[in-house]
Amino acid sequence: AQSVTQPDIHITVSEGASLELRCNYSYGATPYLFWYVQSPGQGLQLLLKYFSGDTLVQGIKGFEAEFKRSQSSFNLRKPSVHWSDAAEYFCAVGARDYKLSFGAGTTVTVRA
Amino acid sequence: GAVVSQHPSWVICKSGTSVKIECRSLDFQATTMFWYRQFPKQSLMLMATSNEGSKATYEQGVEKDKFLINHASLTLSTLTVTSAHPEDSSFYICSAPSTGTEAFFGQGTRLTVV
């Protein structure tokens, strides 16, 4: 069975500060890992994905994530947060067919 | 980039009526689409896999007779919530994988059953 755990329900960060969102997964095979962002009442936008290769993945909007197989983790980072980064962030695991299992999500609040 | 359009964005219906939600891939063909359900402040739960030209595959615990899925063409999948009740109120989102790129999500449909 596949599952995703996002330990942090809510994170508040100051604008300009760094951000790290945690994600741990359980998957029976080689995982395909994703981070999505959702604005209120909207669909999901893909930030980045990891299939294979370099374990440090660069995404859109200045985000990056690092795959650590030994820790079953795929944490998302951004060096300097902007107010527009306030949103809900979902980590997901699946296969290349994009049938995904999502974590519970982390709400990011950015304070001025 | 590729776009998936979901319609309607929101709908209010009376208990006992049926509601149809459409998911269209606008500039690519999608032999498979996925339907998710999201409760407030919660994650997305996969409901079913919609397969063009064949029956949908439902996840465990999802009532296939209540949530009818039709994937009649390579660009359109529909989800019909039949005999809707207040507990069916939720945010429904579809996704369509575009070969070799990524899965694109619709903007979601907020269903409220009164």
pLDDT given for residue B109 in this prediction: 95
| Per-residue pLDDT reduced to its tens digit, A7-44 | 999 999 999 999 999 999 998 888 899 999 998 877 89
What residues 4-33 of chain A have any CB closer than 8 A to a CB of chain B?
none
Residue of B32, B42, B106 lying closest to A104 (CB–CB): B42
- B40 or B107, which is more confident? B107
Q: Which residue of B has its CA nearest to A37?
A: B105
Residue B2 has pLDDT above 70, yes or no: no
Residue of A45, A98, A104 lying closest to B43 (CB–CB): A104
Tell me the sheet residues that pair with B48.
Answer: B35, B58
| Per-residue pLDDT reduced to its tens digit, A65-98 | 999 999 999 999 999 999 999 999 999 999 888 8
Residue B95, chain A, CB below 8 Å: the answer is: yes
Q: Say whether A43 and B43 touch across the interface (CB within 8 A).
A: no
Residue B41 has pLDDT above 80, yes or no: no
| Per-residue pLDDT reduced to its tens digit, B55-85 | 999 999 999 999 999 998 999 999 999 999 9
Which helix (H) or strand (E) segment holds residue A102: the answer is strand A100-102
Tokens read off for B28: 């690519």
Q: What single string gives the DSSP state of each residue in B24-90?
A: EESSS--SEEEEEEE-TTS-EEEEEEEETTS--EEPTT--TTTEEEEEEETTEEEEEE-S--GGG-E
Residue B6, chain A, CB below 8 Å: the answer is: yes
Beta carbons of B48 and B62 less than 8 angstroms apart? yes
> Which letter, b or e, does each residue of A67-95 get, where b requires 16 or more Cβ atoms within 10 Å of its Cβ?
beeeeebbbbebeebeeebbbbbbbbbbe
Instruction: For residue B83, give how far its alpha carbon lies from the nearest alpha carbon of chain A (Å).
Output: 24
DSSP summary character for residue B88: G
Question: What distances in angstroms separate CA A104 from CA A22, A25, B51, B99, one per listed residue?
Answer: 12, 12, 27, 27
Close Cβ partners of B55 (under 8 Å, ≥ 6 residues apart): none
